[in-house]
Structure formats: structure tokens, C-alpha cells
Amino acid sequence: MLVGGLLAVCLLLVFAQRRRERDASQATRGRRVSEAPTSATGPALTTLKAGGDLQATVNKARYGDTIVLEAGAIYSGPLVLPYKEPHGDDYITITTSNVSGIATEGERIRPELHARAMPKIVSPNAGVAVGTAERAHHYRFVGVEFSPAPDSRYVYNLISLGDGSFKSLSQIPHHLIFDRCYVHATGLNTARRGFALNSAETSILNSYISGFAGAGDETQAIAGWTGPGPFHIINNHLEAGGEVIMFGGGDPSIKDLVPADIEIRQNYLHKPGEWAGRATIKGMFELKNAKRVVIDGNVIESPIRTTALVLTVRNQDGTAPWSTIRRCRDYEQHHSAR
């Protein structure tokens, strides 16, 4: 009886120990799942093949993530950059799978050398290629081409940052970067402007923006009227039949807004000679409502008779009596226009 009793006690102790070990193992596994979920593993690198859903991919991205688009692939817009809760100074980056095939950082791209290494986002049905939701922020494009789709109707703004109808500064997108991108129309009278800058903190760098021209058409490479800035337009090739760069030209929808803190440096502003007699030609650079502007180190060339710089305060539509031009500094430029 004594032996049997001892054996029973031993068996109970063994079973109790195994149960404790099993429970501890399960608890440990549960903690590993909750403490290190797959959604909290840090910035993600997502490759999107041709035909993939770009909008859905951007919607799911988190700040710090990089979305890699396949070089040479075509992605259909409109891509609307959504608002996301802020996360420090991290950006969501959208770039090419062939970064080594584009210009190096700080170098301006050349389409004849670099376009083949770029993915393309196209604007269908007269819509934008890229637009923004209210308050969208911290997005960066590197080495991406933008154009109307081959079958698209007339496009007003190929890339539209912000909205000319906003009523509050709190609605305005900000911290947007386009670096080493190729932004172009597909022929005369196919698109009005490359960029509509109705945004805050925006940089257009080392890019090639071309082809925006047409008969009877008020075209621009870059234009802004309801964005407070700052704007950094640096080391780009810029073409348009109308004004190549313009701030103002439409009344801001936000009271007392004046586009400000604008730097335009080291760009090449150009109107191709073949546009003569085929496209509406206006000045190279025009300000109608702007303040704290620096223009420095640009090359301005045109074989067509035009004006290099126009400064004219305009309350364009009669609803912006605060329109002004002040604190504008024009440093050394190289002009070659007929």
C-alpha cells in the first residue's frame, strides 16, 4: 500500500509538471504574437508589378515604406494620395525598380537616357495622373514618369496638388516631393499644365517637364494660385507655350492667401522653336500674386520672341483685393530669347 501510494503521488507530480510546462509554452507563444505582430515590423519594401493596384498599395502603406514600381510598366491613374495620421518626418516613397538607370541624386534627368528605366503613371479619361486628398502629406516620388494615357481626353492638370476650391489652410496637402521625374504632355493641345501647385511645402527637383502647349491654350509647366508654399523648384528642365512658371493667375479661394517662400533656382526654361505659329506663346516666368520669391541661376532660352520675366499684380477675378508682389529677388540669370 505504501509503495502504491508513493507511485500515485509521483504520477500526480509528473502530470502537474507537464501541465505547467504546456501552459507556460502556450502563454509564451501568445506573447510572441501580440508583442511582435507582422504589422509592426518597421518600414516595408513593396514591389508592385505591372497591372497591380497602385491605389490600394498606397492606401495600405505606412510612413517610412517604399513602394517600388516596375521599370517600363504602366500604371493607370488617377492615384489620389490619401491622408494618414502623421508619423514624424517619415515619407512614403514611390520609386522605380531601376534606380541605377536614372540620374544620380542631384542630377537632372534626360528622357532620352533615363525614361526607359522609369515606370509610368498615366491620366485616363481627362483626369489627373496624381491628385491629393485633403491634408495628404509626406509623399515622395523618385524616378517616375507621368503623362496622359494615349486615349485620354484633354487633361487640365496632369499632377494636381491641393485644390483651388479649398477654404481653409488646414485642408492643404504638404510635404510633397517629386525628384528626377519625367512629366510631359503627349502632343499639342493634349494637356494644360504639368503641376498645379495648390499645396504647402512642395519640392520639384531635377525633373524634366515638357510639351505643355497648344493653339488658344493657356498652358504652364508649373502654376499655383491657392497654395501658401513654401515651394522649391530646383534644377529642372521646364517647357510651356504659355507661362513656363506662374504664380497667381487665379484668385485664391482662401482669404488673404498669397503664395510665398518660393525659390526658383538652376532651372532651364525653354520654348521649342517648332511651336511658333502652332501654339499660344506667352512669357517665360510670371508673378501675379506672390511674396518672398528668389529667382537665381536659371537659364532662359527661346528661339521664339517672348518675354523673360513679367511682374504684374492682378486681382484676377475681382475677389482677391489682397493680391500683391513683394520681396522678390531676381539674381543672375542667363537670358537668350528673341
pLDDT for position 12: 36
How far, in Å, CA of 309 to CA of 321, rounded? 23
Q: Is the pLDDT confidence value at 14 over 70?
A: no
The long-range contacts involving 98-101, CB below 8 angstroms and separated by at least 24 positions, are 98/71, 98/143, 99/142, 99/143, 101/71
> In this predicted model, what pLDDT tens digit does every residue of 279-310 receive, in sequence order?
999 999 999 999 999 999 999 999 999 999 99
Q: Is the pLDDT confidence value at 330 over 60?
A: yes
pLDDT for position 16: 43
Q: Taking residues 172-195, what's their average pLDDT?
A: 97
- Kindly state the percentage of the chain with pLDDT values over 70: 86
pLDDT for position 125: 87
pTM comes to: 0.86
pLDDT for position 335: 67
| Local structure of residue 117 (DSSP, 8 states) | G
Query: Sign (positive/negative) of CA torsion 308, 258, 161, 249?
Result: negative
How far, in Å, CA of 38 to CA of 20, rounded? 29
> In this predicted model, what pLDDT tens digit does every residue of 231-251 receive, in sequence order?
999 999 999 999 999 999 999
